[in-house]
Structure 1
Amino acid sequence: MYEWVLWFHVISFISWFAVLFYLPRLFVYHAENIDNSGFVEVVKIQEFKLLKYIGVPSMWATVISGAYLSYLYGFSGNGWLHTKITLVVLLIIYFYSMEKYRKEFAEDRCIKSGKFFRMYNEIPTVLMLLIVGMVVLKPF
Protein backbone atom coordinates (compact mmCIF):
# COMPACT_ATOMS: atom_id res chain seq x y z
CA MET A 1 0.00 0.00 0.00
CA TYR A 2 2.85 2.40 0.86
CA GLU A 3 4.24 2.34 -2.70
CA TRP A 4 0.84 3.10 -4.24
CA VAL A 5 0.24 6.04 -1.92
CA LEU A 6 3.78 7.27 -2.61
CA TRP A 7 3.13 6.99 -6.37
CA PHE A 8 -0.11 8.96 -5.98
CA HIS A 9 1.68 11.54 -3.81
CA VAL A 10 4.39 12.10 -6.42
CA ILE A 11 1.84 12.43 -9.25
CA SER A 12 -0.21 14.86 -7.16
CA PHE A 13 2.92 16.83 -6.26
CA ILE A 14 3.88 17.17 -9.93
CA SER A 15 0.38 18.30 -10.87
CA TRP A 16 0.28 20.83 -8.05
CA PHE A 17 3.66 22.24 -9.02
CA ALA A 18 2.55 22.60 -12.62
CA VAL A 19 -0.06 25.04 -11.31
CA LEU A 20 2.38 26.71 -8.89
CA PHE A 21 4.77 27.37 -11.78
CA TYR A 22 2.30 28.30 -14.51
CA LEU A 23 -0.35 30.42 -12.75
CA PRO A 24 2.09 33.17 -11.72
CA ARG A 25 3.34 33.20 -15.33
CA LEU A 26 -0.26 33.86 -16.42
CA PHE A 27 -0.30 36.68 -13.87
CA VAL A 28 2.78 38.16 -15.58
CA TYR A 29 1.05 38.09 -18.95
CA HIS A 30 -2.17 39.44 -17.43
CA ALA A 31 -0.40 42.35 -15.72
CA GLU A 32 1.63 43.21 -18.82
CA ASN A 33 -1.36 43.09 -21.20
CA ILE A 34 -3.96 44.73 -18.98
CA ASP A 35 -5.01 47.10 -21.80
CA ASN A 36 -5.80 44.23 -24.20
CA SER A 37 -9.36 43.41 -23.13
CA GLY A 38 -9.71 40.37 -25.42
CA PHE A 39 -6.55 38.81 -24.03
CA VAL A 40 -7.51 39.67 -20.45
CA GLU A 41 -10.89 37.96 -20.74
CA VAL A 42 -9.27 34.76 -22.04
CA VAL A 43 -6.53 34.73 -19.41
CA LYS A 44 -9.10 35.26 -16.61
CA ILE A 45 -10.78 32.02 -17.68
CA GLN A 46 -7.44 30.21 -17.84
CA GLU A 47 -6.45 31.47 -14.38
CA PHE A 48 -9.75 30.37 -12.87
CA LYS A 49 -9.79 26.90 -14.44
CA LEU A 50 -6.12 26.22 -13.72
CA LEU A 51 -6.51 27.11 -10.05
CA LYS A 52 -9.92 25.59 -9.36
CA TYR A 53 -9.90 22.47 -11.54
CA ILE A 54 -6.26 21.43 -11.31
CA GLY A 55 -4.65 23.39 -8.47
CA VAL A 56 -7.11 22.81 -5.64
CA PRO A 57 -7.62 19.07 -6.24
CA SER A 58 -3.91 18.39 -6.73
CA MET A 59 -3.00 20.41 -3.63
CA TRP A 60 -5.45 18.44 -1.48
CA ALA A 61 -4.35 15.15 -3.02
CA THR A 62 -0.73 16.04 -2.21
CA VAL A 63 -1.51 17.12 1.35
CA ILE A 64 -3.73 14.14 2.18
CA SER A 65 -1.42 11.53 0.67
CA GLY A 66 1.58 13.26 2.27
CA ALA A 67 -0.11 13.24 5.68
CA TYR A 68 -0.79 9.52 5.30
CA LEU A 69 2.81 8.82 4.30
CA SER A 70 4.04 10.91 7.23
CA TYR A 71 1.83 8.90 9.55
CA LEU A 72 3.21 5.64 8.16
CA TYR A 73 6.80 6.86 8.32
CA GLY A 74 6.47 8.24 11.83
CA PHE A 75 7.02 11.75 13.14
CA SER A 76 9.20 10.96 16.12
CA GLY A 77 12.91 11.62 15.62
CA ASN A 78 12.51 12.82 12.05
CA GLY A 79 13.60 16.45 12.09
CA TRP A 80 13.80 16.45 8.30
CA LEU A 81 10.10 15.54 8.14
CA HIS A 82 9.16 18.38 10.49
CA THR A 83 11.16 20.78 8.33
CA LYS A 84 9.53 19.43 5.18
CA ILE A 85 6.05 19.85 6.66
CA THR A 86 6.90 23.44 7.64
CA LEU A 87 8.00 24.15 4.06
CA VAL A 88 4.80 22.57 2.72
CA VAL A 89 2.76 24.84 5.00
CA LEU A 90 4.60 27.81 3.48
CA LEU A 91 3.78 26.43 0.04
CA ILE A 92 0.10 26.18 0.97
CA ILE A 93 0.16 29.81 2.13
CA TYR A 94 1.73 30.76 -1.20
CA PHE A 95 -0.93 28.74 -3.04
CA TYR A 96 -3.74 30.64 -1.30
CA SER A 97 -1.99 33.94 -2.03
CA MET A 98 -2.35 33.04 -5.71
CA GLU A 99 -6.10 32.80 -5.18
CA LYS A 100 -6.03 36.31 -3.70
CA TYR A 101 -4.26 37.67 -6.78
CA ARG A 102 -6.52 35.70 -9.11
CA LYS A 103 -9.58 37.29 -7.51
CA GLU A 104 -8.01 40.74 -7.79
CA PHE A 105 -7.35 40.17 -11.49
CA ALA A 106 -10.88 38.81 -12.00
CA GLU A 107 -12.27 42.02 -10.48
CA ASP A 108 -9.85 44.22 -12.49
CA ARG A 109 -8.26 45.63 -9.35
CA CYS A 110 -4.81 44.03 -9.22
CA ILE A 111 -2.15 46.74 -9.36
CA LYS A 112 0.94 44.51 -9.17
CA SER A 113 3.37 44.67 -12.08
CA GLY A 114 4.65 41.95 -14.36
CA LYS A 115 8.04 42.40 -12.68
CA PHE A 116 6.47 41.67 -9.28
CA PHE A 117 4.92 38.45 -10.60
CA ARG A 118 8.22 37.40 -12.19
CA MET A 119 9.83 37.54 -8.74
CA TYR A 120 6.75 36.02 -7.09
CA ASN A 121 7.05 33.12 -9.54
CA GLU A 122 10.43 32.13 -8.04
CA ILE A 123 9.03 31.30 -4.59
CA PRO A 124 7.72 27.81 -5.46
CA THR A 125 11.04 26.95 -7.10
CA VAL A 126 12.95 27.70 -3.92
CA LEU A 127 10.44 25.83 -1.78
CA MET A 128 10.47 22.84 -4.16
CA LEU A 129 14.28 22.62 -3.98
CA LEU A 130 14.16 22.67 -0.20
CA ILE A 131 11.27 20.18 0.06
CA VAL A 132 12.81 17.67 -2.34
CA GLY A 133 16.15 18.15 -0.58
CA MET A 134 14.53 17.23 2.73
CA VAL A 135 13.07 14.04 1.23
CA VAL A 136 16.14 12.87 -0.66
CA LEU A 137 18.91 13.91 1.72
CA LYS A 138 17.14 13.56 5.08
CA PRO A 139 19.81 15.85 6.55
CA PHE A 140 18.70 15.63 10.18
Structure 2
Amino acid sequence: MYNWLLWFHVISFISWFAVLFYLPRLFVYHVENSDNKGFVEVVKIQEMKLFKYIGVPAMWATLLSGAVLIYLGGWMSAPWLHVKLLFVLLLVINFYSMNFYRKQLLEDRCTKSGKFFRMYNEVPTLLMLVIVAMVVLKPF
Protein backbone atom coordinates (compact mmCIF):
# COMPACT_ATOMS: atom_id res chain seq x y z
CA MET A 1 0.00 0.00 0.00
CA TYR A 2 2.80 2.41 0.90
CA ASN A 3 4.50 2.03 -2.50
CA TRP A 4 1.22 2.71 -4.33
CA LEU A 5 0.72 5.83 -2.27
CA LEU A 6 4.29 6.92 -3.00
CA TRP A 7 3.65 6.30 -6.71
CA PHE A 8 0.50 8.44 -6.53
CA HIS A 9 2.41 11.19 -4.68
CA VAL A 10 5.14 11.30 -7.33
CA ILE A 11 2.60 11.35 -10.20
CA SER A 12 0.69 14.16 -8.44
CA PHE A 13 3.91 16.08 -7.85
CA ILE A 14 4.86 15.80 -11.53
CA SER A 15 1.38 16.94 -12.62
CA TRP A 16 1.48 19.92 -10.26
CA PHE A 17 4.91 20.91 -11.52
CA ALA A 18 3.73 20.74 -15.12
CA VAL A 19 1.34 23.56 -14.17
CA LEU A 20 3.94 25.43 -12.12
CA PHE A 21 6.29 25.40 -15.12
CA TYR A 22 3.78 26.10 -17.90
CA LEU A 23 1.39 28.67 -16.40
CA PRO A 24 4.03 31.44 -16.13
CA ARG A 25 5.01 30.68 -19.73
CA LEU A 26 1.39 31.33 -20.73
CA PHE A 27 1.63 34.61 -18.81
CA VAL A 28 4.65 35.55 -20.95
CA TYR A 29 2.69 34.85 -24.14
CA HIS A 30 -0.28 36.74 -22.72
CA VAL A 31 1.56 39.97 -21.90
CA GLU A 32 3.79 39.91 -24.98
CA ASN A 33 0.81 39.50 -27.31
CA SER A 34 -1.62 41.84 -25.57
CA ASP A 35 -2.34 43.64 -28.85
CA ASN A 36 -3.69 40.41 -30.39
CA LYS A 37 -7.11 40.22 -28.70
CA GLY A 38 -8.13 36.90 -30.26
CA PHE A 39 -4.93 35.22 -29.10
CA VAL A 40 -5.25 36.72 -25.60
CA GLU A 41 -8.81 35.44 -25.23
CA VAL A 42 -7.64 31.89 -26.03
CA VAL A 43 -4.71 32.19 -23.59
CA LYS A 44 -7.08 33.39 -20.84
CA ILE A 45 -9.10 30.20 -21.24
CA GLN A 46 -5.94 28.07 -21.21
CA GLU A 47 -4.70 29.81 -18.06
CA MET A 48 -7.98 29.24 -16.25
CA LYS A 49 -8.30 25.58 -17.24
CA LEU A 50 -4.67 24.83 -16.45
CA PHE A 51 -4.90 26.39 -12.99
CA LYS A 52 -8.38 25.21 -11.92
CA TYR A 53 -8.72 21.82 -13.58
CA ILE A 54 -5.15 20.50 -13.42
CA GLY A 55 -3.19 22.64 -10.96
CA VAL A 56 -5.55 22.77 -8.00
CA PRO A 57 -6.41 19.03 -8.02
CA ALA A 58 -2.74 18.08 -8.54
CA MET A 59 -1.66 20.34 -5.67
CA TRP A 60 -4.21 18.86 -3.28
CA ALA A 61 -3.38 15.31 -4.38
CA THR A 62 0.30 16.04 -3.75
CA LEU A 63 -0.28 17.62 -0.34
CA LEU A 64 -2.74 15.00 0.93
CA SER A 65 -0.75 12.00 -0.27
CA GLY A 66 2.40 13.59 1.15
CA ALA A 67 0.72 14.06 4.53
CA VAL A 68 -0.29 10.40 4.61
CA LEU A 69 3.24 9.34 3.62
CA ILE A 70 4.66 11.43 6.46
CA TYR A 71 2.25 9.83 8.90
CA LEU A 72 2.93 6.29 7.69
CA GLY A 73 6.69 6.85 7.55
CA GLY A 74 6.87 8.29 11.04
CA TRP A 75 9.10 11.15 9.89
CA MET A 76 7.54 14.02 11.85
CA SER A 77 10.71 14.50 13.91
CA ALA A 78 13.12 14.35 10.94
CA PRO A 79 14.87 17.73 10.46
CA TRP A 80 15.12 17.25 6.69
CA LEU A 81 11.34 16.94 6.57
CA HIS A 82 10.89 20.30 8.30
CA VAL A 83 13.09 21.96 5.67
CA LYS A 84 11.16 20.19 2.92
CA LEU A 85 7.82 21.28 4.36
CA LEU A 86 8.99 24.89 4.57
CA PHE A 87 9.83 24.81 0.86
CA VAL A 88 6.54 23.06 0.07
CA LEU A 89 4.77 25.91 1.87
CA LEU A 90 6.72 28.40 -0.28
CA LEU A 91 5.67 26.39 -3.33
CA VAL A 92 1.99 26.61 -2.34
CA ILE A 93 2.37 30.37 -1.85
CA ASN A 94 4.01 30.61 -5.27
CA PHE A 95 1.17 28.59 -6.80
CA TYR A 96 -1.51 30.85 -5.37
CA SER A 97 0.46 33.93 -6.42
CA MET A 98 0.07 32.57 -9.95
CA ASN A 99 -3.67 32.70 -9.46
CA PHE A 100 -3.32 36.33 -8.33
CA TYR A 101 -1.55 37.20 -11.59
CA ARG A 102 -3.95 35.03 -13.60
CA LYS A 103 -6.88 37.05 -12.28
CA GLN A 104 -5.11 40.34 -13.04
CA LEU A 105 -4.41 39.15 -16.58
CA LEU A 106 -8.01 38.00 -16.96
CA GLU A 107 -9.21 41.52 -16.11
CA ASP A 108 -6.49 43.17 -18.24
CA ARG A 109 -5.03 44.86 -15.15
CA CYS A 110 -1.60 43.22 -14.98
CA THR A 111 1.33 45.58 -15.46
CA LYS A 112 4.08 42.94 -15.26
CA SER A 113 6.33 42.37 -18.26
CA GLY A 114 7.26 39.23 -20.14
CA LYS A 115 10.72 39.52 -18.59
CA PHE A 116 9.17 39.50 -15.10
CA PHE A 117 7.21 36.33 -15.87
CA ARG A 118 10.30 34.67 -17.36
CA MET A 119 12.13 35.23 -14.07
CA TYR A 120 9.04 34.28 -12.07
CA ASN A 121 8.98 31.01 -14.00
CA GLU A 122 12.27 30.02 -12.35
CA VAL A 123 10.95 30.12 -8.77
CA PRO A 124 9.33 26.64 -8.85
CA THR A 125 12.57 25.16 -10.19
CA LEU A 126 14.60 26.56 -7.31
CA LEU A 127 12.06 25.34 -4.77
CA MET A 128 11.93 21.91 -6.40
CA LEU A 129 15.73 21.54 -6.17
CA VAL A 130 15.60 21.92 -2.39
CA ILE A 131 12.47 19.76 -1.96
CA VAL A 132 13.91 16.85 -3.95
CA ALA A 133 17.34 17.20 -2.30
CA MET A 134 15.75 16.92 1.15
CA VAL A 135 13.89 13.74 0.19
CA VAL A 136 16.72 12.02 -1.63
CA LEU A 137 19.73 13.13 0.41
CA LYS A 138 18.13 13.54 3.87
CA PRO A 139 21.10 15.73 4.90
CA PHE A 140 19.88 16.48 8.43
TM-score, reference length from structure 1: 0.98
Cα 1:40/1:76, change in 2 over 3 Å? closer
How far off is 1:75 after superposition? 3.5
Distance (whole Å) between structure 2 residues aligned to residue 6 and residue 81 of structure 1: 16
- Structure 1 residue runs of 4 or more that deviate by more than 3 Å after TM superposition: none
Bigger mean CA offset, 17-26 vs 72-81 = 72-81
Name 1:91's counterpart in structure 2: 91
Count, aligned residues = 140
Taking the TM superposition and a 5 Å limit, the aligned residue runs for 1:102-121 are: 102-121=102-121
Deviations 1:32-66 (A, max 9, x none): 11111011000000000000000000000000000
How far off is 1:77 after superposition? 3.4
Q: State the identity as a percent.
A: 75
Aligned residue identity for 1:102:
R
Structure 1 residue 30 and structure 2 residue 30: aligned?
A: yes
Unpaired stretches in structure 1, ≥5 consecutive residues = none
Name 1:123's counterpart in structure 2: 123
Taking the TM superposition and a 5 Å limit, the aligned residue runs for 1:23-102 are: 23-102=23-102
Deviations 1:59-111 (A, max 9, x none): 00000000110111223431001110110000000000000000000101011
Aligned residue identity for 2:40:
V
How far off is 1:137 after superposition? 0.2
Unpaired stretches in structure 2, ≥5 consecutive residues = none
Aligned residue identity for 1:79:
P
Aligned residue identity for 1:92:
V
Q: In the alignment, is the contact (CA less than 8 A) between 1:12 and 1:58 conserved in 2? A: yes
Secondary structure of the structure 2 residue equivalent to 1:35:
coil
Cα 1:129/1:4, change in 2 over 3 Å? same
Cα 1:3/1:42, change in 2 over 3 Å? same
Aligned residue identity for 2:99:
E
